[in-house]
Structure 1
Amino acid sequence: MVYILSEKTDRSTDLVTEWLVYLKSSFKRLNDEERVEASISVSNNGVESRYYQPRKVWHRRGNLNFLPDEIYDHYPDRTAFLRYFTRESSVLGEFFESRYRKLLGRNYIGSISQESLNNKLLNLVLASKNGFLIPQTLVTSNKEELVAFYKEHGCVITKDLRAPVNILSAGGHIVSDGVKLLNDKMIEQLEEKFVPVFLQKYVQKKYEIRSFAACDKIYSMAIFSQGDESTMIDYRNYNNKKPNRCVPVNLPPMVEQNLRNLMAAMEMNTGSFDLIVNKENEYYFLEVNPMGQFHWLSESCNYHIERDIAQFLADGK
């Protein structure tokens, strides 16, 4: 049996399952909004699981949910209880992933553990060790250090260290403003001490690259973001009225090998990578998302990634 772990609203999962139906391959989709049964037995005789004997797993999104629906009725306003129950049951999901990633090897695609532990700073270090240039980076909570870095490099960007801001409180809904150039006004408004901020020297670029890796393949797309003021700093500052031109691109063999080496160092077999090419045609690594979106890349470049993933999962049915 092929297991797909995902979320109800994930469009990429929908498209892959449609292909699996077309290929007449049996599969079971487990969305993290839906409860699944728990039954794992561990003894000196080994491990037994009554419900899960996968041949292949595509861990696209989320995690297995073992909490009964009724618990949300019993504890509607008791968030501390819900957090506790969620932490307790998450052990089962972590066990499932750890066990079957080892048993299935390359036939277990994706990882919620890698997503939750994804660290931009560690990734930059590993990228540098595996052949990539990286922008000069500073994380600091000291204003004097920040000012010195700003004066040294002149053009500096700031962005989220872990994930975009998304805070819902009584005072309103606060969301991230994307990647921004640091300026004098921002610095003036800072206190002498503040929460750590992520800073990078801005690299002048010809274009940006999004690469998605899965099933031993790497699919890459060039994003021409420099012709638009709103996307010049970062293509993710989207201009929906006039989208950037995106075209398929073949990475130089050495750059693609660097990506494969980096994935091996990270023990990853899928992920979305953000790269840039500077004015001198040098390749810089920016970041990686282990469970990144790829439908946009697939559709823009006619890569049919969803079909390829389905064929990989269906192979050997």
Structure 2
Amino acid sequence: MILCITHSRDFYNIDIFFDYLKTKNIPFFRLNSDRLNHLQKISMNEDFFELTDESGNTVNSKEIKAVWHRKSWGISVPEELDESYTKIFLKEYSSLRYNLFTILQDVPWINPLENENKIDGNKMFQLKIAQKNNLTIPKTIFSNDSEKITIFFHENCNGKMVAKLHGAISKSMSGENMLSTNIIDENSLEDIADIAYCPMIFQPYIDKEYELRIVYMDGEFFTGKINNSENVDWRFAHGDYFWSDYDLPEKIKENLTLMMKEMGLYIGAIDMIKGKDGNYYFLEVNPQGEWGMLQKELNFPIAERIADNLIKRMKTNE
């Protein structure tokens, strides 16, 4: 059995994944991470757990032979719970969830949980590993110091700088409900003083030909090009944008493969920019990043490749 850790509002990608597993006669169990709370019955000891989900479906850890960690969402708090108990409710259920996941640490995962947590939560570490593996990265500062940021702007940015949060408010196929990346120029630089309340990542604005969303899946690449050259991020732009299949240069593929192997990730959604200067700029990799739009628009078999990888490793692990 393959366990898929996702959330209650997930669809499309996960439906394709499950439909494919059915054709292979591989049993699966859907675990909604946000409902891993009072809505589910959970018991565990040091090396075993049994769980009955909100729909009455039961699974025990002995049946699980592989895990796809698609997404972990915040745990839902019951409306009737007194606010004074919210903090302990979330703390204890988060602890229970982590304990439950680690019981499965010896079966194949996409991605291994500890590797994913380290990479997903550390954009500066990502840039360091990317550069180590011969990928071009933008000059970057992560700071809450307005003076240092102002110096960075004047020394590196040619009058135009990108400011973005280390994390995202929401991750979706279309980008709705996400906090927009900001452009800073000479006129808006004076407002940087408030950065003390919210440190951000700053990089020079790159004049680009287009943006790339690259899904790396254990040595295989599925790359979509979007015809956005004017806006800082296609997800926040309004216009007639569309995806097209793109063939990355072999050297870029080689360097990305080395980077992903060093990160210990089987899958990741990688954002890159093709600059007007001819360079490919690595921006970030999201281990749980969205790729449904690439599967939908370009017919990339990403969900199927994830399933194939887990099935192969599951059988090898028997």
| Smaller-chain TM-score bracket | 0.7 to 0.9
CA deviation profile, 1:23-67 (whole Å, cap 9, x unmatched) = 33211111124344433323xxxx3445212111111111697x9
Are 1:275 and 2:280 an aligned pair? no
Match of 1:2 in 2: 2
Work out the CA distance in 1 between the residues paired with 2:111 and 2:185.
39
- Write out aligned runs for 1:232-251 (5 A): 232-239=231-238, 241-242=239-240, 244-251=241-248
Match of 2:88 in 1: 84
Q: Describe the SS at the equivalent of 1:72.
A: coil
Work out the CA distance in 2 between the residues paired with 1:198 and 1:223.
24
Counterpart amino acid of residue 306 in structure 2: I
Counterpart amino acid of residue 4 in structure 2: I
Match of 1:169 in 2: none
Q: Give the CA deviation at 1:294.
A: 0.7
Work out the CA distance in 2 between the residues paired with 1:206 and 1:17.
37
Match of 1:61 in 2: 71
Match of 1:118 in 2: 121
CA 1:193–1:59 in 2, change beyond 3 Å: closer, same or farther? closer
Paired residues of 2:273 and 2:283 also in contact (CA < 8 A): yes
Q: Describe the SS at the equivalent of 1:163.
A: coil
Match of 2:253 among 233, 251, 256: 256
Number of paired residues? 290
Counterpart amino acid of residue 72 in structure 1: P
Work out the CA distance in 1 between the residues paired with 2:23 and 2:111.
23
- Write out aligned runs for 1:77-156 (5 A): 77-78=82-83, 80-101=84-105, 103-104=106-107, 107-110=108-111, 114-115=116-117, 118-152=121-155, 153-154=157-158, 155-156=160-161
Work out the CA distance in 2 between the residues paired with 1:99 and 1:125.
32
CA deviation profile, 1:71-118 (whole Å, cap 9, x unmatched) = 82651x41x5223222223233323434434x22xx311356535852
Paired residues of 1:5 and 1:63 also in contact (CA < 8 A): no
Q: Describe the SS at the equivalent of 1:185.
A: coil
Unaligned runs of 5+ in 1: 167-174
Q: Describe the SS at the equivalent of 2:215.
A: strand
CA deviation profile, 1:162-220 (whole Å, cap 9, x unmatched) = 22489xxxxxxxx7552222023322234387232321012222221111123553211
Work out the CA distance in 1 between the residues paired with 2:25 and 2:74.
25
Work out the CA distance in 2 between the residues paired with 1:88 and 1:147.
43
Paired residues of 2:44 and 2:100 also in contact (CA < 8 A): no
Work out the CA distance in 2 between the residues paired with 1:286 and 1:89.
34
Q: Give the CA deviation at 1:125.
A: 1.3
Match of 2:183 in 1: 181
CA 1:250–1:88 in 2, change beyond 3 Å: closer, same or farther? same
Counterpart amino acid of residue 166 in structure 2: L
CA 1:96–1:261 in 2, change beyond 3 Å: closer, same or farther? farther
Q: Describe the SS at the equivalent of 1:84.
A: helix
Output the TM-score relative to the length of structure 1: 0.80
Counterpart amino acid of residue 163 in structure 1: A
Output the TM-score relative to the length of structure 2: 0.80
Match of 1:211 among 193, 210, 214: 214
CA 1:26–1:135 in 2, change beyond 3 Å: closer, same or farther? same
Work out the CA distance in 2 between the residues paired with 1:142 and 1:59.
36
Match of 1:298 in 2: 295
Q: Describe the SS at the equivalent of 2:104.
A: helix
CA 1:158–1:278 in 2, change beyond 3 Å: closer, same or farther? same
Q: Give the CA deviation at 1:140.
A: 2.7
Unaligned runs of 5+ in 2: 51-59, 172-176
Match of 1:170 in 2: none
Q: Describe the SS at the equivalent of 2:61.
A: coil
